[in-house]
Structures are given as structure tokens and as C-alpha cells.
Amino acid sequence: MPTFAVGIDIGASNTKIGLVRGDAPARIVAGHTIPTRLHGSDADPFIADICAVVKQLADGAQITRIGVSLCSVINADHTGAFLSVNAPALNHFNIKAAFEARFGCSVRVINDVNAYALAESHFGAGQGARSAQGAQRLLCIALGTGLAIASINDGRLLETWAGVCADAARIILEPAADVACNGGVRGSAEALCGMAAIERHGRRRYGRDDISARAIISAARAGNDPIAAAIMAEVGDHVGHLLAILSPIFFPQRIVITGGTSEAGEPLFGAIHARYAALIGDYMANLALLETGVARPVDIVKGALGPEAAILGSVI
């Protein structure tokens, strides 16, 4: 009988479920997406929906382990959410025990950006980011509705509190800014780089209220809309600033950028590279010189795995 792992990526709006074959490289052999129904107080009906999908995908095959990626910070026991703003029914719910009871296999609960980082490290854009001594230091930043980071050092996730390494969304980039993030922090990275910021710029520059962040990102990627390109370049400037702040904390050899905003292409990445190089590029290259004997700039690249990353990363 074939054996599989199951990755479950619970997002604010949708939940992706994948049956994962574990041979190298791991790959998703079947998948399904369902709406996330966790805005009430009872998680059990939603868990039952997931279990029905898992059983259908497995079709009698043995499931050896389950990974659950959550759009939230994780409790100390890694059994569920410490706090989930977008899926409040998960608060104080032991999702690990719920799936163990139903499937009788090991279950891992992980923050979603940590799952992205692990997947990119093993199978995607993080591969090959190693020093002469063989260590790997990878920083992953997810840009979308919000902003979050994960750090991997020599294959191991760095977690400082609540299943994350840092709340980079709250780092203040412009103290005098007149906008705040959902956490109430004025001039924060999320306030200046999140989807709401893109739409705010869009309303002002296009002179209309019906513009969406996704439309601006798509237009910037297409390369035929100078307004969209300018908006994404402004966001990229802030992201480059943020990465320059984070780099002497985490000392990355490579930075992988994931999430929906990363689809904006060159207008975004060109600005990120330029701002980062201007602020800290030479310093980081010289650190590489001390470590390896070769001055090498930090690689800043787009994630390679897209929406599959959290499913794969959760079962590593």
C-alpha cells in the first residue's frame, strides 16, 4: 500500500489540502481547496470538512503524517493557534489532537510563513544558499494582505515567541507617516507595504475608488502601466528598507520573497534591489568576504513554489 503525507494550509479565506509523495523531491500528487469557515466559535464542522477531503484524496492509502500550516501565531505546545485574528475559531482549539484522533498519525502544527520558508529552503528558491562551511542562512518574507518573515539557520527554523522569529510587520519604517497597520502601529512595514497600502496609492494616483491591489500588481507585471509600476516601485523601496534593517539581525545569504505582492515583477524587485544595495549592500557583501573569502552580495529572489509552498513545508 502506498504511503503519503498530507499538508493542510489553513488561510484566512481558503484552505488548501494536498496529498504529498515524500520521495525526493517531495511533490503534491492530489489536492483540493475549500473555503475556510472559522469566523465563528466552533471549529469542529470545518475540521470535519477537511477530514472528508483528506479521506477522499487518500482513497484508502496510508497516511503517515499530517502537517497543518496556520495563518496565525502558534501556541507554546505547537498544538494550535496562540492567536488567530483571521480564523478566530482556532483560538484555544487543539487542532493537533483533533487530527491525531481522526487519523492516528503524527501531526505537526506550524506558522504558514515558516512552512513557506522550509519548502523554499528544501525544494525551491532557497536551494544552494550555503557558505563555504556548508551553513545555510535563509530569510523568507511573505508580502500580501499583511507581511511576515521566517528565518532558517543551517536547516533549522528560528522561533523566538509564538512560533515565529519576529513580527517584522510592526517594524517602524516611517515614524512620521499618517497611516497605521491593523496592529495600530503608525508607519510600520505592513502599513507601507501591505495590500491596503497598494490600494491607497491606487486610489490617489488613478483618481478612483474601485481599483484593487491585485489589479495594480497584475498591471505592473504586464509592464504597460506606468502608474502601476510607480506604485509597486514605491512599495519596493519600503521593502528594500525593511530588508536592510533585518539583514544585520539575521545575516541572510539569500532572501526569498513570496506572497501575492511578489507577482508584481520587475517594478517591485528592481526597487527592492536598488534600495537594499544603497543602504546595506556593501556591508553584507563584506561580511561574506570575512566568512568565505569572496565578497558576495545577498541574493534577493522571488519564491519558486507559489501557493504549494505551505503544503510542502508543513510536512517536512
> Of 16-20, 23-27, 45-49, which range is least confident?
23-27
46, 69, 104: which is the final residue of a domain? 104
Question: Per the domain annotation, does 148 fall within a domain?
Answer: yes
CA distance 45 to 262: 34
Render pLDDT for 97-132 as a digit per residue (tens, 0 to 9): 999 999 999 999 999 999 999 999 989 998 876 555
Question: Per the domain annotation, does 111 fall within a domain?
Answer: no
66 and 152, same domain (yes or no)? no
Render pLDDT for 207-243 as a digit per residue (tens, 0 to 9): 999 999 999 999 999 999 999 999 999 999 999 999 9
Question: Per the domain annotation, does 25 fall within a domain?
Answer: yes
Provide mean pLDDT across the span 51-69: 94
Q: For the chain, how many structural domains are there in total?
A: 2
51, 71, 104: which is the final residue of a domain? 104
pLDDT for 23 beyond 70: no
Question: Per the domain annotation, does 109 fall within a domain?
Answer: no
Question: Per the domain annotation, does 54 fall within a domain?
Answer: yes
pLDDT for 135 beyond 70: no
Question: Per the domain annotation, does 160 fall within a domain?
Answer: yes
Q: What is the pLDDT of residue 120?
A: 94
* Domain coverage including residue 67: 3-104
CA distance 14 to 10: 7
Phi, psi (deg, nearest 5) at residue 230: -65, -40
Binned at pLDDT 50, 70 and 90, residue 2 comes out as: confident
Q: What is the pLDDT of residue 48?
A: 96
Grid cell 484522533 in the structure block, residue = 101
282 and 138, same domain (yes or no)? yes
146 and 285, same domain (yes or no)? yes
Sign of the Cα torsion 182, 187, 190, 192 reads: positive
CA distance 42 to 146: 25
93 and 159, same domain (yes or no)? no
| Closest CA relative to residue 89, chosen from 47, 120, 129 | 47
Residues with Cβ within 8 Å of residue 52, at least 6 apart in sequence: none
Q: What is the pLDDT of residue 136?
A: 79
179 and 96, same domain (yes or no)? no
104, 119, 137: which is the final residue of a domain? 104
Question: Per the domain annotation, does 212 fall within a domain?
Answer: yes
219 and 142, same domain (yes or no)? yes
Average pLDDT, the chain: 93
DSSP state of 306: G
| Alpha carbon of residue 70 to chain centroid | 11
Q: What is the pLDDT of residue 173?
A: 98
Question: Per the domain annotation, does 310 fall within a domain?
Answer: no
**Grid coordinates in use for 303?**
519564491
89 and 25, same domain (yes or no)? yes
89 and 161, same domain (yes or no)? no
CA distance 159 to 186: 25
100 and 163, same domain (yes or no)? no
293 and 251, same domain (yes or no)? yes
Q: What is the pLDDT of residue 13?
A: 87
pLDDT for 133 beyond 70: no
178 and 296, same domain (yes or no)? yes
54 and 165, same domain (yes or no)? no
CATH of the domain at 74: 3.30.420.40
Q: What is the pLDDT of residue 134?
A: 54
Q: What is the pLDDT of residue 86?
A: 80
In percent, the amount of the chain with pLDDT more than 70 equals 97
Render pLDDT for 147-198 as a digit per residue (tens, 0 to 9): 999 999 888 999 999 999 999 999 999 999 999 998 899 999 999 999 999 9
